[in-house]
Structure 1
């Protein structure tokens, strides 16, 4: 018996998200909602230097403490149109889709970045699961399809990225101006960085031997590449 061939239709997907890191220092941000979800978002925005206002009739204990400490501003009422005026970024964390829709409409009108946790249709950006070691940031995203999977994968990756990676990045950052000044040709500069990163410097950092790490790094930069 011949089994008829059925052509599988390709799955339609939305365009891929564009990953980036934002500088929020001094930027006006608003979070609509005062519950636990909002608390987590506010914490991240404040840590990034954002000027955060929370719009909500009530706040969690931590949010209230941050308000009393002057770390955030608070409008103690439900969202109303105009709350996004002049904002750079907004987060709708009310768990009320009708409110999210209103916030979304205002964000669209004024081209404001908006995230609504667990409500993809009302987002023009999404937040990845993040692991930090100093200035090193490792972000994992499922494109909004399965946030729990992003967290699971982030945690697995984080097991192999300890404080030594942040310390190594600090050293590389210190050396960057020196490498840039010495190697004006982009190809030579790229090769110098490759020698440095592929060398033994990281192992010295891992062992906590700062002096050896600096010496090895400088030797890697000075070494002429074999032809």
Structure 2
């Protein structure tokens, strides 16, 4: 199966989850983390979803979805424990122009949500095309063990220093060489130990040595 990898900006976009159980809760939490405006269609909610609704983080429509409910949504997740409802909801949502994910039918879905490791703006993902969520989780655990929070701190630091480095190093070749050589174990080790100022100074010092 050929897939096109993409990271979506969902801030403020309307997304729907059909279902109120454990799977639906996982979908809702990832959507909320991305800033989406989430509506949940289900006669009942598990406690975790109730808590999110009570906190005003989602809109709850306390009924099985009805024809017309799934219009004007960007993404729709069909996550009930009933295959026929999932498929009916998916057909309705897709006909209305939404991209659809069906929890129990990856072959009928428009997209998959990869297993992910996130540290700040650093996002590492693993997808098996819906073929083996267990394998995706296993690989995610291995990636999480290999790339810890220090990599997220490093990304935040270079984003902060990028304008300064750009002004110091005049050519694209100089900047490419600098960033490639600056990603070293010493700077990452300093960040891992919480020595942010020392790591920042190390990168600045490297720029001075690299510059004209």
Deviations 1:47-81 (A, max 9, x none): 11111100011100111121122111011111122
- Higher Cα Rg: structure 1 or 2? 1
Structure 1 Cα separation of the partners of residues 170 and 38 of structure 2: 42
Counterpart in 2 of 1:174?
A: 160
Deviations 1:138-182 (A, max 9, x none): 211112111110001111221222222222222112112223444
Counterpart in 2 of 1:4?
A: none
1:109 aligns with 2:84: no
CA contact (8 A) 2:168 2:207 kept: no
Greater relative contact order, per chain length (Cα 8 Å cut-off, separation 6+): 2
Aligned pairs for 1:40-189 within 5 A:
40-183=26-169, 185-189=171-175
Structure 1 Cα separation of the partners of residues 209 and 89 of structure 2: 57
1:32 to 18, 31, 35: 18
Counterpart in 2 of 1:11?
A: none
CA contact (8 A) 1:135 1:169 kept: yes
5+ long unaligned stretches in structure 1: 1-13
Structure 1 Cα separation of the partners of residues 115 and 125 of structure 2: 6
Structure 2 Cα separation of the partners of residues 148 and 44 of structure 1: 18
Deviations 1:16-73 (A, max 9, x none): x112211111111110000111011111111111111000111001111211221110
Q: Shift in Å at residue 217 of structure 1?
A: 0.3
RMSD (Å) for aligned C-alpha atoms:
2.0
Counterpart in 1 of 2:186?
A: 200
Structure 2 Cα separation of the partners of residues 127 and 48 of structure 1: 13
Q: TM-score, normalised by structure 2?
A: 0.91
Q: Which has the higher helix share?
A: 2
CA contact (8 A) 1:195 1:221 kept: no
Q: TM-score, normalised by structure 1?
A: 0.85
CA contact (8 A) 1:168 1:202 kept: yes
Q: Shift in Å at residue 104 of structure 1?
A: 2.2
Q: Shift in Å at residue 108 of structure 1?
A: 2.6
CA contact (8 A) 2:83 2:104 kept: no
Secondary structure of 1:170's partner?
helix
